[in-house]
A and B are shown apart, each in its own frame.
Chain A
């Protein structure tokens, strides 16, 4: 009896949204602990922390950023397939704003020397960031308008931008991979302040989203739209604007992720930046326990989900699995996860828990 009063019972723990993702993460890290010696070692260089665990956090930050926006979209009962393409567009715009000269035909040696200068940029950094994020927002707005106002099914509406987005990104840079030499920009992806800089970005966006959804009514509106959009409409929630907000925010997050990804590799690579990351992001949200049909969501759980995906990747690299063969393992992990989340297996778990309760008087 006393047990039920305490908030920290076994049941509460297993029913928490964070339980399954954290369990999966712990399981993977435990396997790493056994199989890979030195996986948990930290190194301190110039006051900055390095190590495999930090690598997981750093490489997972792009997917985590996407997952934050994707969580809101999926919570409204939608889906956004275009985030990878939006990342590519954002990266192309940013690179073009810093180094537009490579698009022309001939380049004199002076200009060649100038653009290779790490302090050279065409537009100041704040303009680059502002315009890039604005482009991300516009892409999100486009998706949102199609879904909320033109009433096109989310998957179809965002598929349009997914297909044409990479073409647009290549159009922006005229098919050229623009190299980025500007150091302050590269700091976004490669910088360290004790921890990798991109982690602070994730934390900041997470805090922003958390305040937005949990300290105002927007979070509840999103959940109610996801559970039943028509009855939300009748109870006075402007479900169209809520959906529009969710997609726009997702575009914004994809813009930031594009900045991080392009700063990390110091190129605008329209073909490869964000390739199939939309799938990773959706999967991270699913691992985080948000139902694809919409409704209740947890942003923190989605971030943990992103880290689960990255932990699998990093530990497979550490074990020496080649990059492409990794996809097969990822596929198997997805199958395991969906099995774990399917109603049958859940029912089985509940059956065990219930069974135990009955045997214990």
Chain B
């Protein structure tokens, strides 16, 4: 029996990392579903795809790049650039389809440029794409240094169309849940996945990609000597990744309905991590595009679990992802060791020693981290007194939320109370919107007043509470300390005798899209403060 299992394993060694990841996704989700009944709602599962569609899109392109033994750090910059550029163009009244096409072209041209630098000038992929990232992110701030809301019909249609899952609508109805759905970007990402699988595993192009990256990336020369079109393929791979980044940027823009140069910071790390967890070796030549899907899902499940656990902070996801990467790299190098040492007994023994050492390392590393965590969590209470957070930023002070004032405003009859602090211009603004359409803003120094149409206000409130589900569990606070230039938002809405307050920080990807939509609805009706000289 044991032998048969061993034979099976060694026959299908290539699929081990992929299988491990797939099993991990479902086991982790299953454990979550047992612990938190809310996770049994099928919509939570489909939100995995909905919330991570743009990561998947970008990770597909990244998989190809990594298969050639390269790397692309520019994805986060290009994604941010496309959100800002598309938001700015849409604000100026461009046609949405033209804008989307243009964004894809931007992605393609940046990718092709970096690809040619890497291929023809022999620049390290790391350096060339780093330059690309800085360039793209810097260009965002030439366009706008503040978030731009996207208010476009086609973008709204793309973002809000619900595609029901066939066969599950009735099932959900029996359970009393609303019908589960996915968004258009999920469909787009799966089509892209299909296309990528086809070109990598069934076309000559894909064989060349594997040939370039094979043997830990040292095979490029042999591939060239075999007469394969190495140069063209490499440029094409980076161009394809540029296209994917552009598409991911459009998907993110549709998802959060706004554009900002600080969006997707650290995004490239998530993408690379999900590719690695999906079973692709960073050295190149080993891996499957399909595995990336599971890599992205692992990331999504980790985030969901941390959200549902509640007591864990968002930075835990980073640590978990790091540990997962360590584990997967360990598994891969074990497999590589198995493969290499099949022939000679002596080498086998040495490898067994190395393998044991590796396991010891991994275990001691994890134990070390756990011990540190425990020590840190238990020592401070022993040291006695303490205080709530001193939240002072290096760039700008994050003012404490004026909860009492907001409460008073609501008592006075305001329907929306919105407090925004920090950000690029160090603001501390408190707005109140009254049912008669009066808007009052106060930034500590001056007061401004504005007026909106009460009917329009009613429409906004209905949209927020019905379409965006403001008063449901769907929207929750995702508070963490803002980055140096991000805004912290504190929004209370009072409507039809329901009141709910949610806090969030922009510039991250953990703010729920509905919150972003809500902000982009409210922001335009607020009066402007005169800029201090």
Contact = CB atoms under 8 A, between A and B. Distances in A.
Q: Does A associate with B in a complex?
A: yes
Interface of A: 79, 100-108, 111-112, 142, 145-146, 149-153, 155-157, 159-168, 170-172, 174-179, 265, 267, 269-272, 279, 282-283, 286, 292, 322, 324-332, 334-335, 338-339, 342-344
A102 B385 CA distance: 8
A86 to B, nearest CB: 13
A172 B288 CA distance: 37
Contact of A167 (B128, B316, B361, B484): B316
Contact of A104 (B123, B376, B386): B386
B162 interface: no
A329 B137 CA distance: 10
B318 A102 contact: no
12 contacts: A105-B386, A106-B385, A159-B272, A160-B329, A164-B322, A164-B323, A165-B322, A167-B315, A167-B316, A270-B315, A327-B134, A328-B141
A20 to B, nearest CB: 15
A332 B326 CA distance: 35
A325 to B, nearest CB: 4
Nearest to B365: A142
Nearest to B395: A272
B394 interface: yes
Given A149-B361, A292-B126, 4 more contacts: A150-B330, A171-B373, A324-B485, A328-B139
Contacts of A282: 126-127, 130
Interface of B: 71, 117, 121-124, 126-128, 130-142, 145, 216, 261, 269, 272-273, 276, 282-283, 313, 315-319, 321-323, 325-326, 329-330, 333, 354, 357-358, 361, 365, 369, 372-373, 376, 380-381, 383-395, 480-481, 483-485
Given A150-B357, A170-B313, A338-B117, A326 B318 contact: no
B391 A177 contact: yes
A269 B394 contact: yes
Nearest to B316: A167
A167 B283 CA distance: 26
Given A324-B261, A327-B134, A172 B376 contact: yes
B283 A107 contact: no
A153 B134 CA distance: 25
A324 B146 CA distance: 12
A338 B121 contact: yes
Contacts of B136: 328, 331
Contacts of A328: 134-139, 141-142
Contacts of A179: 390, 392
A168 B319 contact: yes
B14 to A, nearest CB: 19
B383 A161 contact: no
Contacts of B131: 331-332, 334-335, 338
A177 B390 contact: yes
Contact of A102 (B141, B330, B387): B387
A322 B333 contact: no
**A-B complex: 3 closest residue pairs judged by Cβ atoms:** A104-B386, A328-B138, A164-B322
A324 B137 contact: yes
Contacts of B272: 159
A334 B132 CA distance: 9
Contacts of B383: 100-101, 104
Contacts of B117: 335, 338
Tell me the interface secondary structure of chain A in the complex: helix
Contacts of B138: 324-331
A102 B282 contact: no
Contacts of A105: 386-388
Most buried by B among A146, A326, A343: A146
A178 B123 CA distance: 41
A157 B362 CA distance: 12
Nearest to A152: B329
B139 to A, nearest CB: 5
A166 B315 contact: yes
Contacts of B145: 322, 324
A171 B315 contact: yes
A166 B142 CA distance: 29
Nearest to B135: A331
A155 B71 contact: yes
A336 to B, nearest CB: 9
Nearest to B364: A145
B76 to A, nearest CB: 11
A332 B318 contact: no
Contacts of A270: 315
B387 A101 contact: yes
Most buried by B among A100, A112, A168, A271: A271
Contacts of B323: 164
A108 B139 contact: no
Given A106-B387, A107-B386, A163 B321 contact: yes
Contacts of A111: 385, 387
Contacts of B483: 271-272
A145 B361 contact: yes
A178 B387 CA distance: 11
A342 B319 CA distance: 38
B322 A160 contact: yes
Contacts of B376: 171-172, 174
Contacts of A279: 130
A272 B386 contact: no
